[in-house]
Chains A and B, each alone.
Chain A
Amino acid sequence: MTVETSLHNTPLADVHLSLGAKMVGFGGWNMPLQYESILAEWEHNRKTASLFDCSHMGEFMVKGDPLACGLDRIVTQPIVDMPVNTCRYGAMLNEEGGVIDDLIVYRRGPQDWMIVVNAANIEKDARHIQAHLNSKAHFEDASFKTAKLDLQGPQSREVLKALVPGIEKLSYYTFDQFEINGASCLVSRTGYTGELGYEIYCPWEKCKEIWQNILDNATVKPTGLGVRDVLRVEMCYSLYGHELDESISPLEAGLDKFIDDKKDFIGAKAMAARPGGCGIGYFESRSRKSPRAGNKIFDAAGKEIGVVTSGTFSPALQVGIGIGFVGRPNKDVGVEVFFGDEKNKAAASITKRPFYKNGSLKS
């Protein structure tokens, strides 16, 4: 397997190859797709503990008063009232109310912020944020200095507290600084799988050591982006480029909970003025046949009503599952839809999110 030189490598690129990973280009990065069978990796994450290399993601450090420096206007979620050591999910919008990126804001101090963004959008996001912060803010793109490892699964707390005493006190969507292998790391109780888990932000040069330290516990298995996508679709979490992009507003994508409707942020008025409202639907195939991104979606009468944005086989439900913009009233629970193309349609029905209801997330 040759490594494409035009892709960025995380600190673990050679480690993944030595573990037998199939590598794939993702968002401009050379990433592990899978190490063994996707179904085996999925099961290990839902039942035990899995370790993901997410160092490709972007991290920006911002210092400043949220109102005075312009940060508050840039993101849709409320941040002024965030207690220190908490984090919140939200988005940045363009002037038309479409999503530039979804992101998590971490409040490290009264005027000390970390913003975590998708790998594919690092450059675009950095430009946008810097364009809208004023001289009272200090901005640093720390993406290439900051590695991230996600430890996820019902056993993740037991595994991590043996290495990092104190993390067991973290409640959902809170974080703190901990010393791991002699380095100060930010560990948050967050993740993208629907299971109990942690995201470990560490210095780039310490990543390999910390990865190995965690994997020395035989309970943990390395897990790739292939399974990460299956897990997040089972939870109905959006993926930028699929459920979100510059032409889709967060309201249309069902992210109304992450919007502060009391504050004026970039794109707020345009977003509110867009017609249509939430049009996203989550559907379960009536068989093992799975919807795929790009498949058309039809109503019971055969009329084309939308396109699949994400689809996969669900190992939890043992049927195919999919997400797509079907519009109202087609997005209502119980509505019959079909996916595929004009010649080949498979039956499905709209269901309530999430598909997977037994996650250990809030344990």
Chain B
Amino acid sequence: MEIEENFLYTKEHEWVSIEDNIATMGISDYAQEALGDVTYVELPDEETEVEQFEQFVSVESVKAASDIYAPMAGKVIEVNRKLEENPGLVNKDCYGKGWIAKIDVRDMDESTNLMSAEEYRSFLESLEH
């Protein structure tokens, strides 16, 4: 189960990497493995305003659809259009080429509501029991 050390994580298995007030997000290795082959990603419109932990993306696998939640509040400024033709990038490279959206962060303080890589690792271990 891979975890990027420099990212922050949510309880719903989204990751976020924040640089210059822009939060790039996707889903973790645990999430992509649980979902199975991703067949479709319903991306939000650019300019959409989201609250922290609000559902804003839907990821579908062959047999089911899953809600994805914004790790930080703000405005969606870019979505990964490559996922339209190649949704499998979410499985193959969930922390890199499989990124889903970039958010212009409204309130950096909200990052305290997220888990560090180490906290996420412990969280995953607690799920196994």
Which A residues have a C-beta under 8 Å from some C-beta of B? 34, 37-39, 42, 226, 229-230, 287-290, 292, 312-313, 315, 320
**Among candidates B37, B40, B65, B87, residue contacting A38 with C-beta atoms closer than 8 Å:** B37
Does the CB pair A39–B62 fall under 8 Å?
yes
Does the CB pair A289–B62 fall under 8 Å?
no
For B39-71 the 0/1 string (1 means CB < 8 A from A) is 110100000000000000000111111000000
Residue of A nearest to B42 (CB): A289
5 contacts between A and B (CB under 8 A): A34-B36, A37-B36, A38-B36, A290-B40, A313-B40
Contacts of A315 in B (CB 8 A): 62
For B61-85 the 0/1 string (1 means CB < 8 A from A) is 1111100000000000000000000
Bound together, the chains give a CA A313 to CA B65 distance in angstroms of 11
Q: Report B37 CB to chain A, min CB distance, Å.
A: 4
Bound together, the chains give a CA A39 to CA B39 distance in angstroms of 9
Does the CB pair B87–A229 fall under 8 Å?
no
B:12-32 near A, CB below 8 Å: none
Q: A288-B87, A289-B42 are in contact. Are A313 and B60 (CB under 8 A)?
A: yes
Contacts of A229 in B (CB 8 A): 63
Bound together, the chains give a CA A287 to CA B64 distance in angstroms of 16
Which B residues have a C-beta under 8 Å from some C-beta of A? 36-37, 39-40, 42, 60-65, 87
Contacts of A39 in B (CB 8 A): 37, 62
Bound together, the chains give a CA A288 to CA B43 distance in angstroms of 12
Bound together, the chains give a CA A287 to CA B40 distance in angstroms of 9
Contacts of B64 in A (CB 8 A): 292
Does the CB pair B42–A37 fall under 8 Å?
no
Contacts of B65 in A (CB 8 A): 290, 292
Does the CB pair B40–A230 fall under 8 Å?
no
Contacts of B61 in A (CB 8 A): 38, 313
Bound together, the chains give a CA A289 to CA B64 distance in angstroms of 11
Does the CB pair B62–A226 fall under 8 Å?
yes
**A interface, by DSSP: helix, strand, loop or mixed?**
mixed
Q: With contacts defined as CB atoms under 8 Å apart, how many contacts are there between chain A and chain B in the complex?
A: 40
Task: Find the residue from B40, B62, B65 having the highest chain A CB count within 10 A.
Answer: B62
Q: Report A159 CB to chain B, min CB distance, Å.
A: 26
Bound together, the chains give a CA A195 to CA B2 distance in angstroms of 38
Contacts of B87 in A (CB 8 A): 288
Bound together, the chains give a CA A229 to CA B64 distance in angstroms of 13
Bound together, the chains give a CA A229 to CA B62 distance in angstroms of 10
Contacts of A42 in B (CB 8 A): 62
Contacts of A226 in B (CB 8 A): 62-63
The 4 closest A-B pairs by CB, nearest first: A288-B40, A313-B39, A39-B37, A38-B62
Q: Report B55 CB to chain A, min CB distance, Å.
A: 12
Given contacts A34-B36, A288-B39, A289-B40, 18 further A-B pairs with CB under 8 A are A37-B36, A38-B63, A39-B62, A42-B62, A226-B62, A226-B63, A230-B63, A287-B40, A288-B40, A288-B60, A288-B87, A290-B40, A290-B62, A290-B65, A292-B64, A292-B65, A313-B40, A313-B61
Does the CB pair A290–B39 fall under 8 Å?
yes
Does the CB pair A37–B63 fall under 8 Å?
no
Residue of B nearest to A22 (CB): B36
Bound together, the chains give a CA A289 to CA B36 distance in angstroms of 16
Does the CB pair A37–B37 fall under 8 Å?
yes
Bound together, the chains give a CA A287 to CA B85 distance in angstroms of 10
**Among candidates A34, A37, A230, A289, residue contacting B60 with C-beta atoms closer than 8 Å:** A289
Bound together, the chains give a CA A37 to CA B33 distance in angstroms of 9
Bound together, the chains give a CA A320 to CA B42 distance in angstroms of 13
Q: Report B125 CB to chain A, min CB distance, Å.
A: 17
Contacts of A289 in B (CB 8 A): 40, 42, 60
Q: Report B87 CB to chain A, min CB distance, Å.
A: 7
Q: Report A64 CB to chain B, min CB distance, Å.
A: 42
Does the CB pair B42–A230 fall under 8 Å?
no
Does the CB pair B40–A312 fall under 8 Å?
no
Residue of A nearest to B37 (CB): A39
Contacts of B37 in A (CB 8 A): 37-39
Does the CB pair B60–A312 fall under 8 Å?
no
Contacts of B63 in A (CB 8 A): 38, 226, 229-230, 312
Residue of B nearest to A293 (CB): B63
Q: Report A78 CB to chain B, min CB distance, Å.
A: 37
Bound together, the chains give a CA A288 to CA B39 distance in angstroms of 7
Residue of B nearest to A287 (CB): B40
Contacts of A287 in B (CB 8 A): 40
Residue of B nearest to A320 (CB): B40
Q: Report B6 CB to chain A, min CB distance, Å.
A: 29
Does the CB pair A312–B42 fall under 8 Å?
no
